């Protein structure tokens, strides 16, 4: 992990209030793994508000050009500041952080299940797995078509996908969790990675446990430091000898879905 001041190559709208920022950062590109994130300072150098950095999953990597990207939604003061940054501006960040996920395909296939902005870390898993010649399938659910541009990225990767939206504006109308058991054989033939809202993960956990199917969940939590000191991102997990508390920023962000205790 290093603290870096890196140049922004682009910061373009990806959807309503959603932006994709591309950053030139050889150190990040060289060392980052799937599932890892960067912790970005979301204010100008002469200010301290917001005080804490914000974590953002690495969305994609272009090794040839030493460029990586993040995907973010404008929600408050910090992300509003980020959305106003231009090409040539610099961003202060720490990274890469978290333990990398190895998109190992023991079964020969990967199934990625995402919800909303939870697609961000899954995108890099998909890219790495597809580049290695693995078969990748994606199931993803959204409220609307705000992230429609992601379909273009998936098409470029050549992966299979099914999209669901609550308002029916993109793909099939409905919730992704309502369709995960449409083809039980597909679930058993794939190594599963998932990321999204807690309510989605709860349903996945219940349904997959019922079928005795394992999955890896990439968790998203608010963080204070991002390096394991403040314990602000602790989650409760089941262990053989009881319950343990693990830090998303250090021991995670990837956990066995069946072990996570969602309060």
pLDDT digits (tens, 9 = 90+) for 63-92: 999 999 999 999 999 999 999 999 999 999
Give bridge partners of residue 114 from the DSSP assignment. 140, 195
* Count of other CB atoms within 10 angstroms of residue 20: 20
Cis peptide upstream of residue 223 (ω within 30 degrees of 0): no
For 63, phi then psi, to 5°, come to -60, -35
Q: Helices 119-131 and 149-157 sit at what angle, rounded to 10 degrees? A: 20
User: What pLDDT sits at residue 132?
Assistant: 87
Contact call for residues 201 and 235 (beta carbons, < 8 A):
no
User: What pLDDT sits at residue 104?
Assistant: 63
Greatest extent of the chain over all pairs of C-alpha atoms, in Å: 56
pTM: 0.93
Confidence of residue 122 (pLDDT cuts 50, 70, 90): very high
End-to-end distance of the chain based on CA atoms, in angstroms? 31
Q: Which residues contact 206 (CB under 8 A, 6 or more apart)?
A: none
Rg of the chain over all Cα atoms, to the nearest angstrom: 18
Q: Mind listing the domains of the chain with CATH numbers?
A: 2-97 (2.40.30.10), 101-218 (3.40.50.80), 219-263 (2.10.240.10)
pLDDT digits (tens, 9 = 90+) for 4-57: 999 999 999 999 999 999 999 999 999 999 999 999 999 998 898 899 999 999
Tokens linked to 146:
């705000």
């Amino acid at each position: 992990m290093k603290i870096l001041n890196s140049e922004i190559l682009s910061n373009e709208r990806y959807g309503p209030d959603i932006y994709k920022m591309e950053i030139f950062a050889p150190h990040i590109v060289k060392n980052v793994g799937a599932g890892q994130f960067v912790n970005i300072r979301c204010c100008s150098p002469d200010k301290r508000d917001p005080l804490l950095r914000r974590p953002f999953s690495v969305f994609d990597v272009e090794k040839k050009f030493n460029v990586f990207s993040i995907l973010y939604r404008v929600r408050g003061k910090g992300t509003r500041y980020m959305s106003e940054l231009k090409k040539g501006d610099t961003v202060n960040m720490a990274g890469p952080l978290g333990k990398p996920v190895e998109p190992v395909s023991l079964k020969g296939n990967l199934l990625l299940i995402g919800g909303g902005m939870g697609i961000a870390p899954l995108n890099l898993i998909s890219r790495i797995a597809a580049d290695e010649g693995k078969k990748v399938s994606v199931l993803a659910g959204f409220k609307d078509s705000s992230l429609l541009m992601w379909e273009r990225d998936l098409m470029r990767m050549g992966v299979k996908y099914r999209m669901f939206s609550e308002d029916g504006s993109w793909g099939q109308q409905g919730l992704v969790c309502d369709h995960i058991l449409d083809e039980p054989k597909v679930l058993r033939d794939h190594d599963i990675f998932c990321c999204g809202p807690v309510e989605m993960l709860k349903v996945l956990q219940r349904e997959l446990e019922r079928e005795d199917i394992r999955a890896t969940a990439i968790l998203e939590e608010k963080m204070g430091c991002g390096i394991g000191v403040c314990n602000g991102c602790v989650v409760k997990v089941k262990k053989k000898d009881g319950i343990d508390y693990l830090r998303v920023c250090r021991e995670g962000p990837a956990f066995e879905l069946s072990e996570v205790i969602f309060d």
